[in-house]
């Protein structure tokens, strides 16, 4: 793994475990939206990620060079997704195709309800998750920020839950941090924030709320300078994680002096 953070002892040792594997970075990069493979390669490198998502689409005759070349060159592991599926049936078929194409049983399960919101369809999602677990897949479901649905997905045997912060590509950040905190508390699996991140502070907040990792795609690939944003996200994830472990002070309505009043001069 080529990473800007390797020299940083605070983060280098801070891997997380999912499906029995140690993942070397808490930042997962989605590859959608990058303007070129060169830009994508730079973003992957500067993000320090160890895991990137890829999709499956119809072969276009005459198109050479693929996202897999970039993954291989940068030494990252691939997490295939079922992007674009609206039904459990299509998602299960796509996951099976991913397993053949990428020779991995890991799948990021996306079953969306409609094109406008790209929100997960809870019923189809849970159905697909259950079927795929039964077929031996390690399922990473893209889910809403509903704690009950997250719990159900954990119960059917998913290996992580991936709640959204806001709709895909919206860049709106984390709209319901309280739900995320509840998911964190109620689900023992890794919680990976997926979708909605707009900028580095959103990623830091996700980690401060106790997420194990953050997935970012558009916020990096569609930034004016994707490489620089990728590096910013890496720092944000590290900072947020450290802050979460350090323990923040409680919020108060009124001030609390940090300087003692003892020994204050009477002038």
Binding site for another protein (CB under 8 A): 29-34, 40, 52-59, 61, 64, 66-68, 78, 81, 83, 93, 96-98, 100-102, 108, 110, 142, 164, 168-169, 194-195, 215, 217-218
222 noted as active-site residue: no
CA atoms lying within 13 Å on the CB side of residue 22: 6
Residue with Cβ nearer another protein (100 or 266): 100
Residue with Cβ nearer another protein (103 or 266): 103
Between strands 106-109 and 138-143, the pairing is parallel
- Residue carrying the six token digits 């893209």: 142
Closest distance to another protein from the beta carbon of 100 (Å): 4
Is residue 29 helix, strand or coil? strand
Residue with Cβ nearer another protein (12 or 211): 211
Helix (H) / strand (E) element for 17: namely strand 16-18
Task: Name the active-site residue from 108, 152, 184, 235.
Answer: 108
**From residue 38, how far is each of 11, 128, 198, 229 by CA, in Å?**
26, 35, 22, 15
Residue with Cβ nearer another protein (126 or 162): 162
Q: How far apart are CA 158 and CA 137, in angstroms?
A: 9
Residue with Cβ nearer another protein (117 or 155): 117
Question: Could you tell me the sign of the dihedral formed by the alpha carbons of 175, 49, 231, 67, in that order?
Answer: negative
Is 81 in contact with 88 (CB distance < 8 Å)? no
Closest distance to another protein from the beta carbon of 263 (Å): 56
Tokens of 137: 């897949």
Closest distance to another protein from the beta carbon of 168 (Å): 5
Is residue 68 helix, strand or coil? helix
Closest distance to another protein from the beta carbon of 59 (Å): 5
Is 66 in contact with 102 (CB distance < 8 Å)? no
Closest distance to another protein from the beta carbon of 120 (Å): 11
Write out the catalytic residue numbers: 108
């Amino acid at each position: 793994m080529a990473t800007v953070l390797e020299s940083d002892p605070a983060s280098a040792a801070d891997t997380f475990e999912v499906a029995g594997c140690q993942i070397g970075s808490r930042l997962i990069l989605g590859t959608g939206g990058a303007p070129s493979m060169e830009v994508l390669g730079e973003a992957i490198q500067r993000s320090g990620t160890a895991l990137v998502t890829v999709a499956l689409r119809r072969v276009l005759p005459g198109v050479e060079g693929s996202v897999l070349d970039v993954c291989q060159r940068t030494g990252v592991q691939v997490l295939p997704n079922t992007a674009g599926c609206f039904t459990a049936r299509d998602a299960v078929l796509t996951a099976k195709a991913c397993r053949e194409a990428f020779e991995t049983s890991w799948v990021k399960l996306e079953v969306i309800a409609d094109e406008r919101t790209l929100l997960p369809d809870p019923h189809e999602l849970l159905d697909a998750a259950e079927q795929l677990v039964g077929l031996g897949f390690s399922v990473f479901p893209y889910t809403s920020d509903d704690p009950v649905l997250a719990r159900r997905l954990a119960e059917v045997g998913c290996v992580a839950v991936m709640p959204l912060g806001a709709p895909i590509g919206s860049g709106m950040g984390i709209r319901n941090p309280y739900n995320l905190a509840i998911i964190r508390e109620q689900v023992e699996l890794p919680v990976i924030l997926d979708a909605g991140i707009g900028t580095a502070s959103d990623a830091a907040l996700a980690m401060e709320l106790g997420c194990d990792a953050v997935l970012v795609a558009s916020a990096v690939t569609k930034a004016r300078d994707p490489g620089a944003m990728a590096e910013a996200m890496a720092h944000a994830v590290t900072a947020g994680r450290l802050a979460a472990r350090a323990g923040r002070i409680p919020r108060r309505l009124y001030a609390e002096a940090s300087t003692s009043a003892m020994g204050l001069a009477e002038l």
